Amino acid sequence: MKIFLDTADVKQIEVLLETGMIDGVTTNPSLIAKSGGDIKETIAAICDIVDGPVSAEVTATDVKGMLAEADVLSAIGPQVTIKVPLTKEGLIVCKQLSARDIMVNVTLCFSAGQALLAAKAGATFISPFVGRLDDLGADGMNLIADICTIYDHYDFATEVLVASARHPQHVVDAALIGADVITLPPSIIDQLYKHPLTDKGLAAFLEDWKQTGQSIL
Ligand code: E4P
């Protein structure tokens, strides 16, 4: 399963790239606003340091406006993946951009029916928001399982990108289902490394090692 970073904070991306675990980046208008930077400069700065897909979201809601914004964002580089909302207009734009071999990430997906339409529109990625469904008392991971089953039935090339992750268990559940990608805020990446027994075990090993008075170097 690929891991994307869900942030527009270039400094945080730089730090986490050192882990060698990051396969791409997703942003959205809220994350750009939080970063405080200009969208074009921020996406360009991310593309300079990341090898994989970098999602940049359009903010127009009509077809003409979305296509015009997509042209500006795509010009930043070939790895820029245009993020469009899962609306009728968004899927019309998706179909046109994918016909031009521009990667498209269809975002704000909350149902399997919507995901089916996005695949038919040629989306490179579909982004179902698991955390926001969980917040409403639904089970976001059921949606991931349903979409993976439907896509498998028809051999759709669209990759299932689990979005709105809230905790490390979402990562494990997504991997068990066989989702293609999960996008994670930096805090969840850090949490994934952690286990109290790892910390406890390491502390005990180091204490015992100290008693020996030895040094490997
Ligand atoms: C990523 O593509 C989404 O925009 C993001 O994961 C949404 O996460 P949130 O529900 O925590 O805002």
Residue 50 pLDDT level (bands cut at 50, 70, 90): very high
Buried b (16+ CB within 10 A) or exposed e, 60-76: eeebeebbebbeebbeb
* Ligand 1 midpoint to CA 131 (Å): 8
Report how far residue 30's alpha carbon sits from residue 119's, in angstroms, rounded to the nearest whole number. 25
Please give the number of the atom of ligand 1 that sits closest to the Cα of 28: 4
Question: What local confidence, expressed as pLDDT, does residue 155 receive?
Answer: 98
* Ligand 1 midpoint to CA 31 (Å): 9
Question: What local confidence, expressed as pLDDT, does residue 111 receive?
Answer: 98
Q: Which two tokens stand for residue 181?
A: 């990608």
Question: What local confidence, expressed as pLDDT, does residue 108 receive?
Answer: 98
Domain ranges of the chain: 2-212
Q: What is the mean pLDDT of residues 20-26?
A: 98
* Residue written as token pair 């286990």: 195
Question: What local confidence, expressed as pLDDT, does residue 133 receive?
Answer: 98
Q: Which of 135, 190, 142, 122 is nearest to 164 (CA)?
A: 135
Question: What local confidence, expressed as pLDDT, does residue 32 receive?
Answer: 98
How crowded is the C-beta side of 83, counted as CA atoms within 13 Å? Answer: 19
What tens digit of pLDDT does each residue of 77-93 get? 999 999 999 999 999 99
What is the separation of C-alpha 16 from the centre of its chain, rounded to a whole number of angstroms?
14
Q: What is the mean pLDDT of residues 124-142?
A: 98
Residues pairing with 80 in the sheet: 54
Sign of CA dihedral 68, 96, 159, 78: negative
Q: Which two tokens stand for residue 127?
A: 């982004």
Q: What is the mean pLDDT of residues 174-203?
A: 98
Report how far residue 82's alpha carbon sits from residue 70's, in angstroms, rounded to the nearest whole number. 6
Residue 65 pLDDT level (bands cut at 50, 70, 90): very high
- Which residue's alpha carbon is nearest to atom 9 within ligand 1? 164
Question: What local confidence, expressed as pLDDT, does residue 58 receive?
Answer: 98
Q: What is the overall mean pLDDT for the chain?
A: 98
Report how far residue 23's alpha carbon sits from residue 184's, in angstroms, rounded to the nearest whole number. 11
Active-site entry in 2, 40, 83, 120: 83
* Residue written as token pair 């996008």: 183
Q: Is 24 helix (H, G, I), strand (E, B) or coil?
A: strand
Report how far residue 131's alpha carbon sits from residue 121's, in angstroms, rounded to the nearest whole number. 25
Residue 147 pLDDT level (bands cut at 50, 70, 90): very high
Question: What local confidence, expressed as pLDDT, does residue 110 receive?
Answer: 98
Report how far residue 56's alpha carbon sits from residue 140's, in angstroms, rounded to the nearest whole number. 24
| Pairing assessment for the beta strands 104-109 and 24-26 based on DSSP bridges | unpaired
Q: Look up the CATH number of domain 2-212.
A: 3.20.20.70
Does 194 qualify as catalytic in the annotation?
no
Lining residues, ligand 1, CB within 6 Å: 6, 26, 28, 107, 127, 129, 131-132, 163-164, 183
